[in-house]
Amino acid sequence: MSKVNEAALKKRTSISTLHKMKQKGEKFATLTAYDASFAQLFDEQGVAMLLIGDSLGNVVQGLDDTLGVTTDDIAYHTRCVRRATQGALIVADLPFMSYATPQQACENAAMLMRAGAQMVKLEGGEWVCDTIRTLVERSVPVCAHIGLMPQSVHVMGGYKVQGKSEEDAARILRDAKAVEAAGAQLLVIECVSKKVAKAVTEALSIPVIGIGAGPDTDGQVLVMHDMFGISAGHTPKFSKNFLIETGNMQDAVARYVSDVAEGRFPAAEHSFD
């Protein structure tokens, strides 16, 4: 059988796959990806989901934040990632101010889906639910993102851990339930206390993917540069340099995937109380 036919027969991870993993208590690993070479490496090592994140503004474009990233940027990198993968679910970020209205969200989501995304991700809680409903009604799967939201960094006053007070924790849980009810099929929760993340994960039927959210979420996501220890400047507390302990990139990714699946990552030192 030709390699082309073998590739065609390989089954790509679906949203349903991740839902079944949650039901079985099986944890899964996600990484950001921005180009074909790394996307192929991650795909071959069994990363379940690849996110073309607006974090590319920081790690690829050298920006101070994610706000300068455009939909055209995300679409370009999505095409690169999709061409090189066979197994991972491909999720693309809707960048800053690309979903200010439901109509705008539909237009930009269509661009990303045509570029190869199987799902789009957007930030926001209750206020974004009308947009989520509109997208889902028009056959665009949605991954929501709550907690620390990098696109709202200036409103939040910086990159701060969320959910510290009882009031803030309750708001995060309300947001999580609201986006699920609106039709979101996955949820990313970033930089919250592990207690809050656990409560959200247990309250929702959809898979919850944590980044800086402790060990009790259904999956984990890291920015690839952080996982390899090559990010310029500050390395987040919630990340881990898997490359330094394995010696090569393939083994580093494989270790990350297995550590997430077996509950070894994140450990206490990567979590917020």
Which amino acids are annotated catalytic?
Answer: 190
Closest by alpha carbon to 96, among 105, 88, 87?
A: 105
Q: DSSP secondary-structure letter at 79?
A: H
Rounded CA separation 189/147 (Å): 5
Q: Report which of 42, 33, 121 is spatially closest to residue 81, judged by C-alpha positions.
A: 33
Annotated ligand binding at 35? The verdict is no
**72 in a labelled binding site:** no
**According to the annotation, is 54 in a ligand binding site?**
yes
The tokens for 111 are 């661009």
Q: Per the annotation, does 121 bind a ligand? A: yes
123 among the known binding-site residues?
Answer: yes
Q: Which residues of 100-115 are buried (b: 16+ CB within 10 A; e: fewer)?
A: eebeebbebbebbbeb
Cα-trace Rg, the chain: 17
Please give the Cα distance from 29 to 50 (Å, whole number). 9
Burial class (CB in 10 A: 0-12, 13-18, 19+), 62: exposed
Structure tokens at 149: 């939201």
List the Cα angle 89/102/80 in 5-degree steps: 30
Task: Please say whether the beta carbons of 27 and 49 come within 8 A.
Answer: no
The binding site for 3-methyl-2-oxobutanoate consists of: 54-55, 93, 121
- Annotated binding-site residue numbers for Mg(2+): 54, 93, 123
**Residues tagged in the binding site annotation:** 54-55, 93, 121, 123
